[in-house]
Amino acid sequence: MFCIYYQQLKRNFPAYVAPWKASPCVFRSSKSELKPNLCSDGVVCAPLQTFTQEETMLKNMVTKFAQERVAPLVQKMDENSKMEDSVIQGLFEQGLMSIELEEEYGGTGASFFSIILVVEELAKVDPAVALLCELQNTLTNKLFTTYGTEEQKRTYLPRVAKDTIGSFCLSEAGSGSDAFSLKTRAEKKGDYYIINGSKMWISLAEHAGVFFVMANTDPSLGYRGITCFIVDRNTEGLHVGKKEDKLGIRASSTCPVTFENVKVPETNILGQVGQGYKYAIGMLNTGRIGIAAQMLGLAQGCFDHTIPYTKERVQFGKSVFDFQGMQHQIAQVATQLEAARLLTYNAARLVEAGRPFIKEASMAKYYAAEVATLTTSKCIEWMGGVGFTKNYPIEKYYRDCKIGTIYEGTSNIQLSTIAKSLAQEY
């Protein structure tokens, strides 16, 4: 019965219904204005959606790249659970894997806020591609630039800017939200450490060329023994397992990684011994703003695909959009999208200004994930039977958004972080 209904619908689809490879319209809500020049005697209090000329140019370039190079491959990558090499190569070629890195290392030398804009634009087309870009910029590059020695920077930064993907190994079977109860051990042997243990849910592991491995050098100290090690993929004893068959963001790999007597030189310690837990917390705090941007872009992309359909689809003699009940639902979602955008942009600007941002980052990540969940669910309802099929990307956005409430700190962890900040403020 559904097949007959679908075939009848398909023959009468409005011309605007966009299949996978079509580009959605760019609506006013996603447009921006140039940021005004700063006054000689102070800072202009500009709206959050005003960007510098460089940010605007980068945003426009990424929009074009996403539509031309990513959009035609989204459905294939999702079905095959594999990121196309051409997409990865394109991200490196466009400088999108080294946005904040200094030019001396092969980077773009742009701002942290630029990362957020790029992730948002990529996520409108494919959240899996956006995740690759987000993790490379907010975790891999940030770890090297913040805690790496000059030798480590000279060795690795040109590589991660050119063609090497990094992967952050923290989670284990028994340590998810309780991340610092990890069991992976690093035992000192002269000027080397021997790492043994296993990690789970490791993003980008399939393509990664370098891993940041959190291991405990002295379990008697508890989490204060956790140390971060830089481990190259070809190191003997490092094994990347079979990637998970996931609900969403399927093109982005998630794999177990095991370490069997992995020998790592002492010079490959990132930062100081026993400070790994601090580094993880610091990176995840900024990374949450990146995930907020991913969820925001995902929700906006889904919304942008759906609203034109509601205006073209005619039932009972008028467009679906013209029913007041629909208008109220759409207006509510649009308002929440705007609120999520402002939370995300504000948190990013706080980072750039060197101001406290931990509470705001958690708020942005929590709220953007909730809004993405609501938006994608509503869009399927508004599209009707069409939204329930894999011929159109709406159901993919719905599957992709669920991870936003889980990784880089679950929604409950975000709420706990917000509450702790509030307790200190009052």
What is the distance between the alpha carbons of residues 290 and 119, in angstroms, rounded to a whole number? 7
- Surface-to-core class of residue 47, CB atoms within 10 Å of its CB (0-12 exposed, 13-18 middle, 19+ buried): exposed
Question: Position of tokens 């952050």?
Answer: 168
Distance CA 263, CA 257 (A): 15
Give me the catalytic one of 84, 121, 360, 408.
408
The label of the residue with tokens 């309802």 reads 381
What region does 88 belong to: left with phi over 0, alpha with psi -120 to 50, or beta?
alpha
Q: Give which of 204, 319, 211, 209 is closest to 262, Cα–Cα.
A: 211
Distances (CA, A) of 120 to 62, 113, 388: 10, 11, 24
Question: 93 catalytic, yes or no?
Answer: no
Sort strands 208-216 and 165-169 into parallel, antiparallel or unpaired.
Answer: parallel
> What is the three-class DSSP state of 318?
strand
CA distance 348 to 290: 9
Ordered alpha helix ranges (H), 126-149: 127-135, 141-147
Task: Output the CA torsion sign for 234, 223, 202, 118.
Answer: negative
At residue 140, the 3 state secondary structure works out as: helix
Q: Give φ, ψ of 79 to 5 degrees.
A: -65, -40
3-state SS of 205-260 is CCCEEEEEEEEECCHHHHHHHEEEEEEECCCCCEEECCCCCCCCCCCCCEEEEEEE
* Under 8 Å between Cβ of 38 and 28: no
| Residue 239, phi then psi, degrees to nearest 5 | -130, 125
Residues labelled as active-site residues? 408
